[in-house]
Amino acid sequence: NAGVMQNPRHLVRRRGQEARLRCSPMKGHSHVYWYRQLPEEGLKFMVYLQKENIIDESGMPKERFSAEFPKEGPSILRIQQVVRGDSAAYFCASSLGDNNEKLFFGSGTQLSVL
C-alpha cells in the first residue's frame, strides 16, 4: 500500500541549522501540497507543487523556506537557519489533480528546534 511517505518522522535541529523534509507522493500523483501545523493550531497551507513547478507558494514564509518537486525523486521542503518558531508538524499531501476531495496525507514530520 504505497501511500504518501514522509521522512523523517522526527527531526531535531539546533538553531541556525538546515532542515530538509521529504515527501514521496502516492504512485501516479503529480500534485503535492505542504501544510504546517503549529502547536495548538490547525494545519495551514504552505505551498503547492506539480512536477518541476511551484504553482502556489502563497502560504510559505518569504525567507528561509523553499520547496521543490523534481522530475525524479521526492518533494523536498527546506528550511534554512531554523529558529525555535519553526518547531511544528509538517504534513505533505498528494492528489491526482488540484482537488480537495481526493487528497491523501502523509503521517507528517515533527520538527523540533532546540
* 103: contact with other proteins by CB under 8 A: yes
Long-range contacts: 101-105, Cβ < 8 Å, 24+? 103/33, 104/3, 104/4, 104/25, 104/26, 104/29, 105/4
SS3 content of the chain, % helix, strand, coil (to 5): 5, 50, 50
**Closest distance between other proteins and the C-beta of residue 15, in Å?**
26
**Closest distance between other proteins and the C-beta of residue 97, in Å?**
9
Scan for cell 504512485, then name that residue.
27
Candidates 74, 95, 111, 113: give the one binding other proteins (CB under 8 A). 95
Q: Which stretch binds other proteins (CB under 8 A): 10-18, 55-63, 71-79, 80-88?
A: 55-63
| Residue 28: half-sphere exposure toward Cβ, Cα within 13 Å | 5
Q: Which of the residues 59 through 88 are near other proteins (CB under 8 A)?
A: 59
The binding site for other proteins (CB under 8 A) comprises 3-4, 6, 9, 31, 33, 35, 37, 40-45, 48, 56, 58-59, 91, 93, 95, 98-101, 103-108
